[in-house]
Amino acid sequence: MRTTKAPQEIDKQLNSRAILSGILFGVGLVTFIDEMVFHQLLHWHHFYDKSTTSLGLISDGFFHGLSWLTTVGGLFLVADLRRRNAWNWKRWLGSVLLGAGVFQFYDGTIQHKLMMLHQIRYNVVILPYDLIWNLTAIGMVVIGYYLVRKSKNSYKQMNLTGSNS
Amino acid sequence: MTSNLINLFFVAIGVLAIFVYLLAVRSSNQHYKKWPSYRSLYWVMGVFSAEAALVGPIATQAHHNFAVHMVGHLLLGMLAPLLLVLSAPVTLILRSLSISKGRRLSKMLKSRFVKFVGDPFVASVLNIGGLWLLYTTELYSAMHHHVFLHLLIHFHVFLAGYLFTASMIYIDPISHRRSYLYRGIVLVIALSGHGILSKYIYGTPPVGVPSIQAEQGGMLMYYGGDAIDLVLIFIYWLQWYKGNRPRESQDLRESI
């Protein structure tokens, strides 16, 4: 199955692999932080909140199942890009923020609010928490998108000068 | 009296399993490159892990305490299968059998039945679906009153765990390989099913289980399952990483 491909095609594929790697790792990272910081360290979130709808339980379970596969997979893709000399920090970091931001926004709006999955914190006025949560998410998406856009040129340049043997 | 007999039966199976494996290692070493000792170690650890769930303090207390039952479940249905799969028993058996018997075995492994139950999706349904059946129906409480049912369920949990693990990572030769994408999608669904069930148990204790034990058991299942699955996921990706190595003669960026 190993056919010779045109260089542009390989570049395109590696580009999307870099973005995929970042997004996968970003989604995994944000669920990991959620689990570590908010569930385990701060005990703000509840393991299971009786008001959770079954759809919320399924959605939460699905993303939890996905998160380990994507965290580990995202990092193996990084290793793969590095061994192919196709590594680009800016593009990767941008994609990490994109993945993390989109997922955190989904978590903060649909999962917490619509599906009534556990709230960010209990026995407090929840609005500021929700606002900070979701604004951080939007901020990550914006910065991530900007970084990915900006990384395009430097990526092409790198390929021209840093040709591999 | 029956419980003593059952304990004896489990211990005998364990001893036999280790004995046969080591015998096969000796026979393999006479004809092939030395069998890696870490594989033997995995086998022994796997057998011990299963035994720990079946006989001794965990098995005794599991009857009365759901959290302890869950420790046993993690050992028998997840850790033992993982360790046993990593010890590559099929490869070892094929090496130590005569050619004709080896052919018969490999023909069996290529059969439609093995293809069917070895499919990641079917194996996941057998594994996770079986757990849903056990913990959300009255099967769990019935298990404690019928010895035969008890044996059957433990046998199923172990076997389904092994099938599931072997269908996700390929240590032994396998004739019906499935793509990484397919295995990955099924793996996510299976892990989700496991996680959702643990939270469901946390909120809805199985019949006859006090809610504090259900909460402990549910969290054990959730986080303990994660720890073992993380190893499985790591090996899954490591196999992808090794399998997609660019050839040295090629451009490094070739062959993606």
Indicate whether B254 belongs to any domain. no
Amino acid at A103: F
Of chain B, the percentage scoring pLDDT greater than 90 comes to 77
Give the closest of A5, A60, A83 to B252, CB-based. Answer: A83
Q: Does B216 fall in a domain?
A: yes
Contact B192 A65 (CB under 8 A): yes
Residue B184: C-alpha distances to residues B74, B165, B234 (Å): 22, 12, 12
- The reply to whether B137 falls in a domain is yes
What is the per-residue pLDDT across B137-188, written as a single tens digit (0 to 9) for each?
999 989 888 889 999 999 999 999 999 999 999 999 888 899 999 999 999 9
Closest CA to A62 of B164, B219, B225, B194: B194
Name residues whose C-beta falls within 8 Å of residue B181's C-beta, 6 or more positions apart in sequence. Answer: none
Tell me the C-alpha distance between B221 and B196, whole Å: 10
Instruction: Give chain A positions within 8 Å (CB) of B226.
Output: 68
Residue B197 domain-assigned (yes or no): yes
Report the distance separating Cα B214 and Cα B205, nearest Å: 5
Distance of residue B97 Cα from the nearest chain A Cα, in angstroms = 34
The verdict on a CB contact (< 8 Å) between A69 and B203 is no
What number is the ipTM of this complex?
A: 0.82
Q: Give the pLDDT confidence of A43-88 residue by residue, as tens digits.
A: 767 677 666 677 778 878 888 888 889 999 999 999 999 988 888 8
Could you tell me which chain A residue has the CA closest to the CA of B243?
A80
The tally of domains found in chain B comes to 1
Query: Would you say residue B251 lies in a domain?
Result: no
pTM of the model: 0.87
- Which residues does chain A have within 8 Å of residue B236's beta carbon, measured at their own beta carbons? 69
Q: Where are the domains of chain A?
A: 8-152
Q: Give pLDDT tens digits for B46-95.
A: 999 999 999 989 988 988 899 999 999 999 999 999 999 999 999 999 99
User: Chain B: which residues have CB within 8 Å of chain A?
Assistant: 184, 187-196, 199-200, 202-203, 218-219, 222, 226, 229-230, 233-234, 236-238, 240-241, 244-247, 250-256
